């Protein structure tokens, strides 16, 4: 190690040692060890249950759903939100009509209860099996390889109002905890307080495998050394919530630098309220309110049909959908979606040019108003597969749609079929 590298290593060593001496770091370390111990207990209880969960999934799977997802655990259905906020306002994903690369496929039973999740990257990887341990605790177990070795465990706890209170996601290396991410939530009036912890290589046996060398001479520690081998990163977030539990803004700071506070506005809609997971708590929306929302959506569908009439030219149908979207909705959670691709929903492959206006249904899911414009597949449109939602660009939604390659290709063509309808996710 040359002199400059030695100096830089020593400075980093001293800074981390100073940070680790603080009371705040000691609290993070205690919380981390609690999480690690919880992971060890769950590992001991379920490490030999891979075949059982596989058989149960095969027996009870009734239907599937797909989504985009990125790298966040379980994608759009990830119980926690801190990782997405910490990763630069990352998008958690959205549901799609068919499987996409770097997305997820979810399996449900006949009561629409989530049973498993597969992350896709060209092909399906190891499956996570998901179940409710009790009315407020959800567990996820991911088994890997032919031997079905338990390699990841996720634990989510909810309060009496259905809000996330604790989220733990850990991974294992040769039966030892190798990483643990923890999110702890506390609520006061219209604010949510989150402590977010990331830790890697926590067990001594694993740390020794990844050591990078020896400590700087001035550190006076004669042992294998890697300053990041058991480094615990902590972050604190304060979320401002509206009356519906929607995050309107938030601040965040690293525990190591508490005075360096960042202020943000969520780029994507984030909700922190809901029903009790056991469905024993009263719904946030009354039955009367839900009926009113559905009736309003039916009126919008009639508006779209009246605007579209018997038109089959794509540009005229897009104009009709845009005029319908100008009718205001009594919700801040409205979303517009645009999707293209070849699907066989009608038992014959057709190219879909789909526009969707989406509203919350008051029960944690969404009502969707669809316009599907269908064309015969050919060499040109077969490569135009994509998904877009109005939050993914600063550009106006319909401006983006009309500039899309699919619209420019099909603008003046007559559709093979046109379908306008409502459904619920």
> 3-state SS of 164-207?
EEEEEEEEEECCEEEEEEEEEEEEECCEEEEEEEEEECCCHHHH
Question: What average pLDDT does range 244-273 have in this prediction?
Answer: 82
DSSP 46-82: HTT-HHHHHHHHHHH--EEEEEE-TTSTTGGG-S--H
What are the φ/ψ torsions at residue 388 (nearest 5 degrees)? -155, 140
- pLDDT computed for residue 183 by the predictor: 95
pLDDT at residue 340 greater than cutoff 60: yes
Report helix, strand or coil for 90: coil
Q: Which of 211, 212, 103, 79 is nearest to 153 (CA)?
A: 79
- pLDDT computed for residue 232 by the predictor: 85
Question: What average pLDDT does range 38-48 have in this prediction?
Answer: 95
- pLDDT computed for residue 299 by the predictor: 74
How confident is residue 90, by pLDDT bands cut at 50, 70 and 90?
A: low
- pLDDT computed for residue 204 by the predictor: 52
The whole-chain average pLDDT of the chain stands at 80
What are the φ/ψ torsions at residue 99 (nearest 5 degrees)? -65, 140
- pLDDT computed for residue 18 by the predictor: 76
- pLDDT computed for residue 395 by the predictor: 65
- pLDDT computed for residue 284 by the predictor: 42
pLDDT digits (tens, 9 = 90+) for 172-226: 988 889 899 999 999 998 899 999 999 886 445 544 544 444 444 454 444 433 4
How confident is residue 402, by pLDDT bands cut at 50, 70 and 90?
A: very high
pLDDT at residue 33 greater than cutoff 90: yes
- pLDDT computed for residue 363 by the predictor: 60
pLDDT at residue 138 greater than cutoff 80: yes
- pLDDT computed for residue 114 by the predictor: 92
pLDDT at residue 276 greater than cutoff 50: no
- pLDDT computed for residue 163 by the predictor: 85
- The CB density around residue 232, as the number of other CB atoms within 10 Å, is 21
Which letter does DSSP use for residue 219 in this model?
Answer: G
% of the chain exceeding 90 in pLDDT = 32
pLDDT digits (tens, 9 = 90+) for 288-336: 455 556 666 777 887 788 878 888 899 999 999 998 888 876 655 788 9
pTM of the model: 0.62
Tell the burial category of 256 from Cβ atoms under 10 Å away from its Cβ (0-12, 13-18, 19+): buried
- pLDDT computed for residue 278 by the predictor: 32
pLDDT at residue 127 greater than cutoff 80: yes
- pLDDT computed for residue 273 by the predictor: 52
- pLDDT computed for residue 366 by the predictor: 77
Q: Which residue has the higher pLDDT, 97 or 326?
A: 326
């Amino acid at each position: 190690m040359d002199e400059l590298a030695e100096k830089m290593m020593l400075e980093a060593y001293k800074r981390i040692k100073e940070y680790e001496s603080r009371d705040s770091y000691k609290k993070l370390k205690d919380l981390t060890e609690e999480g690690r111990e919880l992971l060890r207990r769950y590992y001991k209880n379920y490490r030999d249950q891979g075949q059982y969960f596989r058989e149960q999934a095969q027996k009870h799977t009734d239907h599937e759903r797909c989504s985009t997802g990125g790298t966040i655990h379980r994608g759009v259905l990830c119980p926690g939100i801190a990782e997405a906020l910490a990763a630069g306002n990352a998008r958690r994903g959205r549901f799609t009509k068919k499987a996409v690369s770097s997305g997820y496929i979810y399996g449900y039973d006949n009561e629409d209860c989530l049973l498993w999740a597969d992350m896709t990257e060209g092909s399906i990887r190891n499956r996570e099996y998901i179940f409710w341990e009790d009315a407020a605790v959800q567990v996820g177990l991911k088994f890997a390889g032919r031997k079905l070795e338990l390699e990841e465990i996720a634990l989510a706890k909810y309060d009496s109002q259905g809000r996330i209170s604790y989220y733990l996601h850990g991974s294992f290396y040769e039966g030892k905890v190798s990483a643990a991410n923890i999110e702890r939530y506390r609520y006061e009036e219209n604010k949510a307080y989150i402590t977010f912890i990331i830790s890697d290589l926590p067990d001594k046996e694993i740390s020794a495998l990844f050591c990078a060398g020896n400590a700087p001479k001035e550190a006076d520690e004669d042992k294998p050394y890697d300053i990041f081998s058991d480094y615990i990163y902590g972050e604190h977030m304060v979320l401002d919530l509206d009356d519906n539990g929607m995050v309107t803004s938030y601040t965040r700071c690293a525990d190591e630098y508490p005075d360096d506070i960042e202020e943000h506005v969520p780029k994507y809609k984030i909700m922190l309220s809901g029903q009790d997971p056991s469905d024993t708590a009263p719904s946030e929306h009354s039955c009367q309110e839900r009926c009113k929302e559905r009736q309003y959506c039916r009126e919008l569908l009639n508006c779209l049909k009246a605007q579209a009439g018997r038109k089959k030219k794509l540009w005229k149908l897009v104009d009709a959908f845009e005029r319908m979207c100008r009718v205001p909705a009594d919700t801040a959670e409205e979303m517009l979606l645009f999707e293209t691709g070849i699907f066989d929903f009608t038992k014959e492959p057709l190219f879909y040019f789909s526009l969707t206006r989406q509203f919350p249904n008051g029960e944690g899911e969404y009502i969707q108003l669809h316009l599907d414009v269908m064309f015969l597949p050919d060499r040109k449109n077969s490569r135009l597969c994509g998904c877009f939602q109005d939050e993914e660009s600063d550009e106006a939604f319909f401006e983006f749609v009309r500039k899309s390659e699919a619209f420019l290709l099909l603008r003046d063509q007559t559709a093979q079929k046109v379908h306008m309808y409502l459904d619920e996710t």
